[in-house]
Amino acid sequence: MKSIFLTVVATGAWLMVNAQQKLPVYLDINKPIEERVENALSAMTTEEKVSLCYAQSKFSSKGVPRLGIPEVWTDDGPHGIREEVLWDEWGGAGWTNDSCTAFPALTCLSASFNPKLSLLYGKSIGEEARYRNKTVLLGPGINIYRTPLNGRNFEYLGEDPYLSSRMVVPYIQGVQSIGVAACVKHFALNNQEEWRGHINVDLSDRALYEIYLPAFKAAVQEGKAWSIMGAYNQFRGEHCCHNDLLLNKILKKDWKFDGVVISDWGGVHSTDQAVNNGLDLEMGTYTDGLTTKGKFPYSEYYLANPFLKGIKEGKYDIALLNDKARRILRLIFRTTMSANRPFGRFVSPEHSEAARKIAQEGIVLLKNDKQFFPVTNGKFKKIAVIGENADRSLVIGGGSSSLKVAYEKSPLDGLIAKYGKDHVVYSLGYASGPSMYGREEPSKLNADSLMNAAIEVAKDADVVFFIGGLNKNHFQDCEGGDRKSLSLPFGQDKLIDALLKANKNTAVVLLSGNAVSMPWVDKVPAIIQGWYLGSEAGSALADVISGEVNPSGKLPFSFPKKLEDNGAHFYGKISYPGDSINQYYKEDILVGYRWFDTKKIVPQYAFGYGLSYTSFNLGTLSADKSTYSKDEIIKVRFTVKNTGARYGAEVAQLYVNDPVCSVPRPVKELKAFEKVFLQPGEMKVVEMDVKVADFAFYDESKKDWNVEPGDFILQLGNSSNNISQKLKITVK
């Protein structure tokens, strides 16, 4: 009797299959996934099912070798594919072929207001993950920007749930089109790093459903995300990695999520809760050894031997184990064992171009007096570039999103390439310490000497570009700790004032993932918000500064003038950061521009704000009729015209106001937007479909969404505080 060997490439396992026997259903890639899952489940022992549910190394979990079912390999992060680490340590493994493309941080992507770029981003990073044989990409992050002090805001999509929803869906679709699972994080309410491992968040159901859950719901129901990561913090007394309300009731029951809930690393605290409250796969940080050694070996994880022991003793329902194993198998069959999984590619020219384009469209021009920008070739003979961020790596640090990259073009590199080395002179100006995760390290350089040297350089220049902001050191834009202040660190405010006295033609370019205070805002002629722009940072920034690219980014969060103007900080420490045990979101639904507009507080720069090198006009707003029922769609129509002399793009933003309601509501809420690209003098008709159902508020008395009949005001503008058109419609 003849035999053949079947190779399962993903694991290197070999299965002996008799030529006269049928292929097992779970290995038949032509069979429906659910049929394969159930067949594999029926062939597994209890021990094999449990072994799927916990880590075997820092970034992987077991498969079922006996059946040829491969391991699950996860990888940070949302902006690039992290270097390979040692099996059981955080240190790099020393590979020479794992240097990735760094894509812009998600704040930059969100600032583009362009869902098409989000799809490009997802496909590109998905290809890099696939090339490296990853099963799960640990991203995107979509926690709401509640406070400008949150150390991980740079990883997220801003303060507005609608914008986050529209940007996260194509990102997920792009990643998963390459056969890699997106892992949307951190579910939910992980809106600060201070005390993140235990702080208990208390907020209203309205704030939960209207602000903090919509992007996750869109990720699940529209993006069809294959995995979700739980958050470290507690919500109403239960840790989010095993939270009955969040995981069982909302995610799996209400939203019909059929993917895998993965814990954040070290976010599990109880076998009983992990088993019963919706967690599927436990990952960890605290193991110090292999499966039989160390302080807390993998075999003793909460979902490992303790789970198996409880199953055998009848303490835990076998149905709970089957559900977890079923979800993990489904993930594997959707990815590594998929019939149509494409090949990946790594650090390709196409990925560099994608990174550059995303960076270009995300850069925001905040101020531009007397058309300071663009600075075209020949406009100035001598350009002084001042500031550490001009020549500092901004892909390293920040925590789990730190990257080992194939290349990184700094802003200084980009400006020299654009204007020529004979026209650009650089001075450090200020210095931070080395990037040390978990602690601050001050610079050993003398601050006064650096400032004096920069002033001398500025005096002799025709124009000065100060390139500063934050960095990815601890207590800046970094996981594991929040910022200590809204101010620029390392004496930058003092340096900017000194540079302005030396040369009034000083523009400020901020590279950061958070808002900062700007005591010099009225003195400088021009300001650019540049974010963390990835491998192509210098090229993209120089493209915008020189005018080769017209800036079109819009702020995905509000910049307050002072910290107390932010809703989370208005109510004192019990609202942020809490008392180390509990915190209360006292601003409730009034997050970001909802707070500023409703409380009539003028921000430094508003949500949705961003200038261009050309000008635009939004034409008359109209709708297909004036009265609608609750289940109808409003067809909105208006024109956008480029009234300037340059090609560019405007983001038309449609907000809704409910002037008379049984509950307090914000002055406006974003419900639609469209990025429109126009040649000089060109005009386009823009049509938007807006569901009346999206006008609903979460009615706590009914525990459901409610659209009350009456008048609603549609508001059209190009930022949350610049509304040019209004239209009243009536809901029956």
Catalytic residues: 264
Query: 200 and 693 in contact (C-beta within 8 Å)?
Result: no
Those residues with Cβ within 8 angstroms of residue 459's Cβ, 6 or more apart along the chain or in another chain: 502, 503
Query: How far apart (Å, rounded) are the C-alpha atoms in residues 112 and 363?
Result: 8
Determine which helix (DSSP H) or strand (DSSP E) holds 327, and give its type and residue range: helix 318-334
Neighbouring-strand partners of residue 684: 640
Query: How far apart (Å, rounded) are the C-alpha atoms in residues 711 and 724?
Result: 19
For residue 437, how many C-alpha atoms fall within 13 Å in the half-sphere facing its CB?
Answer: 12
Which residue type does 651 have? V
Query: 182 and 226 in contact (C-beta within 8 Å)?
Result: yes
Query: How far apart (Å, rounded) are the C-alpha atoms in residues 346 and 128?
Result: 5
Those residues with Cβ within 8 angstroms of residue 321's Cβ, 6 or more apart along the chain or in another chain: 46, 49, 50, 53, 307, 311
Determine which helix (DSSP H) or strand (DSSP E) holds 182, and give its type and residue range: strand 181-187
Total Cβ atoms within 10 A of residue 725:
16
Peptide bond into 179 cis (omega under 30): no
Query: How far apart (Å, rounded) are the C-alpha atoms in residues 539 and 526?
Result: 20
Chain CA centroid to CA 539, Å:
22
Helix (H, G, I), strand (E, B) or coil at 162: helix
Peptide bond into 411 cis (omega under 30): no
Helix (H, G, I), strand (E, B) or coil at 579: coil
| Strands 622-623 and 627-628, bridge-based pairing | unpaired
Query: How far apart (Å, rounded) are the C-alpha atoms in residues 308 and 311?
Result: 5
Question: b/e per residue, 382-417, with b = 16+ CB within 10 A?
Answer: ebbbbbbbbebbbbebbbbbbbbbbebbbbbbbbbe
Phi then psi dihedrals of residue 497, to 5 deg: -60, -40
Those residues with Cβ within 8 angstroms of residue 619's Cβ, 6 or more apart along the chain or in another chain: 638, 639, 640, 641, 683
Q: How many residues can be counted in the chain?
A: 732
Tell me the CA end-to-end span of the chain in Å, nearest whole number. Answer: 76
* Largest separation between any pair of C-alpha atoms in the chain: 91
The three state secondary structure string of 450-473 is HHHHHHHHHHCCCEEEEEEECCCC
Phi then psi dihedrals of residue 547, to 5 deg: 90, 0
Closest residue by Cα to residue 388 from 448, 305, 479, 450: 450
What separation in angstroms does the CA of 245 have from each of 188, 214, 230, 268, 627? 11, 16, 12, 16, 38
Can you tell me which residue has the tokens 């799809």?
119
